[in-house]
Chain A
């Protein structure tokens, strides 16, 4: 199975049933998004501030 078909299978598992051509179109942004996801994943100790609530006054 080539890279696009593998990617298409991942999309299908996530609930998106797309054609091979459509999967190829989506795949063009995947490498960049993976880099971005890696940037927000940061190892933190479990006692690190857990809040993700967004209140600009506390920014």
Chain B
């Protein structure tokens, strides 16, 4: 096989019997054999099962009985998504032998849609703390330049999808863990509304901030994956009982009806952002204007306010999960995870409650700010991916990031590729929509991708 197809393209080719799911899966494994020694995306390949699933999908395609557009599409799962009888480690020595009895709800739903699971991929330890170099498996590397960081924590999914080792994959986002890798690896990644996608069977980091969602090459592919992942699940107490729209069918929304709120101070004033990223966001605003959208500025609380609130809640909730193991197995964790989380032992109960009250205020501010807009526009990250050996240990606490507003409010947010910086690495722009308005978010991202040439360029190593 030649060029790496998107999920939508591969699906059309399968439907037209121009390509078989077996060929697709094999092509991904072949690219993996060539590239993954440098990328370290995979923790575990499930090749035997994948080829069996691909053959079953091929048989359905030949009979004209495909289950849908995802039938036969090769994907990967972040290794915090539990897989029945398949090791699920959270990339941690603490869970090296962990063998779940059941699939996560999302793993099951994606399998029922006919996807072919190629394996389990790297994550920052327990979805927080990387890049780490003292874990049982190496940290994933960025396909645009393996000396650079993938972002995280959905690092393996970012690397695998950007390099074409899979056509899509799953991620989780508690403080930017989908949008960060999407930005640094040049992908589309969506963190849906809190409650939209079940977290049942996904190893938790922070209960009230955790979101599950997909990463893929395009917004259209994210729409297809999200459609399969979303829906009510009584096994997740935060899961919302709401109808799931046909996201792929809603992609062609007329952008002349779109009102874009540019949160200029977030990327221009509140944190250090590179000139290339500032230009990418300004260009994105112009693209939306060119598509007929109305673009106006909006002010919201300083990024540091969102970051402080997110961090206090995240660390408190994560510590509640890990405290027993930290007390007895401290040295088995990687340094970054354990040191960042150990700090949470000093956060008091009243401080956690204060953060919850501050969260309500920030939610009100976001609702006010978004009242006149359909989407907000800002950066996904300060710039291009840094070198993987130059990420400071305390970087999450050092400078405010662009992701916490989406986690604090639960509003859907996504990163799409907004161009490339001076090092040739991707720059992600971020869009945020109102609760349950993933269809609008995906449509805006899709329109942006179609109006720009950035989806035509893959990492050189994947060529």
Contact = CB atoms under 8 A, between A and B. Distances in A.
Contacts of A16: 326-327, 330, 342, 345
B353 A56 contact: no
A18 B305 CA distance: 31
Contacts of A36: 307-308, 311-312, 397
Interface in B406-463: 409-411, 435-436
Given A16-B326, A39-B305, A29 B360 contact: no
B287 interface: no
Given A11-B345, A54-B208, A59 B394 contact: no
A56 B330 contact: no
B410 A54 contact: yes
A6 interface: no
- Which of A30, A48, A54 counts the most B-chain CB atoms under 10 A from its CB? A54
A8 B323 CA distance: 16
A28 B311 contact: no
A58 B330 contact: no
- Which of B195, B345, B366, B410 counts the most A-chain CB atoms under 10 A from its CB? B345
B308 A56 contact: no
B410 A37 contact: no
Nearest to A39: B308
| Chain B interface category by residue count | 35 or more
Contacts of A40: 308-309, 312, 351, 354-355, 358
B360 A51 contact: yes
B342 A32 contact: no
Interface string B347-384: 10001011111111001101100000000000000000
A10 B346 contact: yes
Interface in A6-49: 10-11, 14-18, 22, 25-26, 28-30, 32-33, 35-37, 39-42, 44, 48-49
| Chain A interface category by residue count | 20 to 34
B268 interface: no
A57 B437 CA distance: 11
Contact of B360 (A10, A22, A28, A52): A52
Contact of A39 (B194, B304, B345, B398): B304
Contacts of B309: 39-40
B300 to A, nearest CB: 13
B351 A41 contact: yes
Nearest to A23: B342
A52 B327 contact: no
B324 to A, nearest CB: 9
Given A18-B330, A28-B394, A54-B356, A59 B346 contact: no
A14 B342 CA distance: 10
Interface string B324-346: 00110010000100011011011
B218 interface: no
Contacts of B346: 10-11, 14, 30, 33
A59 B410 contact: yes
Given A14-B346, A30-B343, A49 B411 contact: no
Nearest to B312: A40
B22 to A, nearest CB: 42
A11 B342 contact: yes
B45 interface: no
B393 interface: yes
A18 B394 contact: no
B150 interface: no
A50 B360 CA distance: 10
A32 B397 contact: yes
A32 B315 CA distance: 13
B193 interface: yes
A57 B193 CA distance: 9
Contacts of B353: 52
Given A32-B397, A32-B398, A59-B410, A52 B312 contact: no
Given A22-B342, A40-B355, 5 more contacts: A18-B330, A30-B343, A33-B346, A35-B308, A37-B347
7 contacts: A16-B326, A16-B345, A28-B339, A32-B398, A49-B357, A51-B360, A56-B435
Q: Which 5 A-B pairs have the closest CB atoms?
A: A52-B356, A56-B410, A36-B308, A14-B345, A59-B363
